[in-house]
Chains A and B, each alone.
Chain A
Amino acid sequence: MANAAEILLVEDNPNDAELAIRALKKNNLANNLLHLEDGQEALDYLYNERNEMPKLILMDVKMPRVDGIEVLRKLKSDDKRKIIPVVMLTSSKEDKDIIEAYNLGVNAYIVKPVDFDQFVKAVTQLGFFWMILNQPPQLNKM
């Protein structure tokens, strides 16, 4: 079955995922969202030829099996997939993660605020920017 998700949420923590989805839903941004639970699942999805490429990937950094940085590295070194906007959503404020992500070509790097209201604000703004304001290149089936 071919999937055509617009937003790919890659997050291993189910609570964080739920809260993020809630925040996006509040603003009607989660209609076409697919939640995957780690980097390996994300890669499996993105490298399945039958799937349409998402408009935005929201991804945690620290995940079991394949972490977010690894997925990012793979996507950004792949000519076909490097145009997909990737936003790292992470708990970590660690400089080295931020630097590495930007070196690899991340499109944005958001430190998830602890405060839920701010979290909702951040996720909503992200959704608006990337899904509505941002003009993505035409993505075809790969």
Chain B
Amino acid sequence: MKFYFNKRVLIGFTITMLVLLVLGVYSYMSTQRLMDSASLESHATRVVNTAERVVKAMIDMETGQRGYILTGNEDFLEPYYDASANIGHYLDTLDSLTDKHSAQQPKIDSLRVMVDYQNHWIQNVVALRKTGFAEAQAMVATGQGKRNTDAIRKAIKNIQDTEMQLFRSRSTITDSSVQQFQYSFVGLAGVMMIIVAYLFYTINVTLGARNNAERELVTSLKNTRDLYDHAPIGYHSLDANGIFVEMNQTELNWLGYSREEVIGKIGFRDLLNDQGVKVFKEAFPEFMKTGFVSDLEFELIRKDGSVLPVILNSTAIRAEDGTYIKSRSTVTDNTDRKKSQDRILDLNRELEGFTYSVSHDLRAPLRSIIGYATILKEEYYDKMDDEARRVTEVIIRNTVRMGQLIDDLLDFSRLGRKQVSITPINMREVVESIVREQTEEIKDRKLAVKILDLEPAKGDLAMIRQVWINLISNALKYSSKKDVSEIEIGSYRKDGKKIYYITDNGAGFDMKYADKLFGVFQRLHKMNEFEGTGVGLALVKTIVKRHGGEVWAESKIDEGAKFYFSL
């Protein structure tokens, strides 16, 4: 479109220039012709006028002669003398004016002869009048003088006509040629006007389109700029030296700087405290390698010296040859999140302090109760009756159980705060070692434990171990009343997840209570049937959840249970 437009304008102007050139040349030539014609015309006029003078001089000569003949007064001869003196001069002029014209020259020569003859004849008549009026009158009466005059008039008329004819034949300017010139001029001027008008129109239309496009561009730029500046997130760009080349208004407001104070003036480093520098030193190699960093948490120093907790994401912009040009970053105000985080940390610390004192202070008295009750049982055995011994046993058993509950509860609460550190886990090895440990203690029971191939997993080894410990010990515990404890442990893949399971042929449970199975301190069996605190499966659930998996179970009363968990 642009090329097309430029080409059209170029062609338009070229045509206009050509037309102008043609008009100019044409006008010049026409003017030249007009000037030539004018000079030819003035020459012809001079010839005609000079010829006229010859005629007039001849008439003067004749008039003077006639007056003298009639009166005999010599004064009347005055015009005759003047005219006869001038007429030669006029003839010379005529001669020189027509010297380039071969057709006129013989006519001038013959005119000169005729004039001389007439002059001669007049002199004769004047001489005769001096003798007497009658003789002169007789000579005039011959009509010779009149014939001479007529002949001269005729010759001059002929010369004049020839000259005019000559002028007309030489002059190229005619009415029609003038008209033709006018038409051509108007025509060319018209063409030029059309072209200029067309050019004007084309340029105008294109300029209009350009103006519109420019306005749209400006509007869109304004919108983009507005979005950039006032988005509820900080944006900035740094050059290769870490100097700010751009920063949006939001971030400027957060930091308390004006644009002029930042752009090209200060570097990112200037806004960091020691902790921030450390964060960036650690993140920089990764940034140069991968071209981006995500969710860096640190603090920016405001102009007034206060700090702004932020989260930063950054992308490297490289040239085609891979050299680092600049970085583009988004900055999120982390104040609120930081506050919540601090609050959570505080709460966690409180909880930690609480569990610490629970673990310490709650267990100590229990130990004393059991300790002293045991002393009673052992050292005062003889002094107690059966009921006293039974009661002492109950005290000890319940206190031990309370100690167990406290320990399990602490384990459970500790688990929620523990960091999950992911490593590859050889599940089969883990399961085999746990089964070995647990069956060691119950050698007297008949066991049929089948461990199938298990998918290797990724997770926190200690936690996943705890899951298996709890599930395997449950399976052993609840199948302990069967003649043979049959346990199978296996795994399979489903929908990209690894699913592990353990089945037993134990007491099972009523599916009605399946939702209570994994709750803390929830038990589906009586204490005197199977021991336990009801924390084991809750722990399993918490651990699996923290690994992003699910845990569920299937069972029928007295037909065993099947526990699943996915990772």
Residues of A within 8 A of B (CB): 13, 15-16, 19, 22, 61-62, 90-95, 112-117, 119
The smallest beta-carbon distance between A1 and chain B, in angstroms, is 32
- In Å, the complex CA distance between A4 and B469 comes to 47
From A15, which residue of chain B is reached at the shortest CB distance? B368
- In Å, the complex CA distance between A138 and B474 comes to 51
- In Å, the complex CA distance between A119 and B363 comes to 13
Residue A114 contacts which of B366, B372, B375, B414 (CB distance < 8 angstroms)?
Answer: B366
Cβ–Cβ < 8 Å partners of A61 in chain B:
360
A119-B356 contact, Cβ under 8 Å, with A13-B364, A91-B364 = no
Query: Is B534 at the interface (CB under 8 A from chain A)?
Result: no
- In Å, the complex CA distance between A115 and B360 comes to 15
A114-B359 contact, Cβ under 8 Å, with A19-B371, A93-B410 = no
User: Which chain B residues numbered 353 to 372 have a C-beta less than 8 Å away from chain A?
Assistant: 355-356, 359-361, 363-364, 366-368, 370-372
Give chain A's interface secondary structure class.
loop
Contact assessment for A62 and B360 in the assembled complex, using a CB-CB cutoff below 8 Å: yes
Of B51-59, B247-255, B399-407, which binds chain A? B399-407
Residue B356 contacts which of A13, A22, A92, A114 (CB distance < 8 angstroms)?
Answer: A92
The smallest beta-carbon distance between A83 and chain B, in angstroms, is 29
Residue B367 contacts which of A22, A93, A119 (CB distance < 8 angstroms)?
Answer: A119
A93-B359 contact, Cβ under 8 Å, with A16-B364, A114-B399, A115-B400 = yes
- In Å, the complex CA distance between A95 and B352 comes to 11
A117-B399 contact, Cβ under 8 Å, with A15-B368, A16-B368, A112-B367 = no
Residues of B within 8 A of A (CB): 355-356, 359-361, 363-364, 366-368, 370-375, 396, 399-400, 402-404, 407, 410, 414
Contact assessment for B400 and A114 in the assembled complex, using a CB-CB cutoff below 8 Å: yes
- In Å, the complex CA distance between A13 and B364 comes to 8
The smallest beta-carbon distance between B194 and chain A, in angstroms, is 96
Cβ–Cβ < 8 Å partners of A119 in chain B:
367, 371
- In Å, the complex CA distance between A62 and B360 comes to 8
Q: Shortest 7 CB-CB distances between A and B: which pairs?
A: A114-B403, A116-B374, A15-B368, A19-B371, A91-B363, A116-B371, A116-B370
Contact assessment for A92 and B360 in the assembled complex, using a CB-CB cutoff below 8 Å: yes
Contact assessment for B370 and A115 in the assembled complex, using a CB-CB cutoff below 8 Å: yes
From B361, which residue of chain A is reached at the shortest CB distance? A91
Residue B371 contacts which of A15, A90, A95 (CB distance < 8 angstroms)?
Answer: A15
Cβ–Cβ < 8 Å partners of A112 in chain B:
363, 367
The smallest beta-carbon distance between A93 and chain B, in angstroms, is 6
Can you report 28 A-B residue pairs in the complex whose CB atoms are below 8 A from each other? Answer: A13-B368, A15-B367, A15-B372, A16-B367, A16-B371, A19-B372, A91-B361, A91-B363, A91-B367, A92-B356, A92-B359, A92-B360, A93-B410, A94-B360, A112-B363, A113-B403, A114-B363, A114-B366, A114-B370, A114-B404, A115-B400, A116-B367, A116-B371, A116-B373, A116-B374, A116-B375, A116-B396, A117-B374
B356, B366, B367, B402: residue with the most chain A Cβ atoms closer than 10 Å: B367
- In Å, the complex CA distance between A17 and B374 comes to 15
Cβ–Cβ < 8 Å partners of B361 in chain A:
91
Cβ–Cβ < 8 Å partners of B359 in chain A:
91-94
- In Å, the complex CA distance between A114 and B360 comes to 11
The smallest beta-carbon distance between B250 and chain A, in angstroms, is 42
- In Å, the complex CA distance between A119 and B399 comes to 14
Cβ–Cβ < 8 Å partners of A16 in chain B:
364, 367-368, 371
Cβ–Cβ < 8 Å partners of B400 in chain A:
114-115
Cβ–Cβ < 8 Å partners of B368 in chain A:
13, 15-16, 19
- In Å, the complex CA distance between A30 and B402 comes to 30
From B370, which residue of chain A is reached at the shortest CB distance? A116
Cβ–Cβ < 8 Å partners of B355 in chain A:
94
- In Å, the complex CA distance between A90 and B396 comes to 21
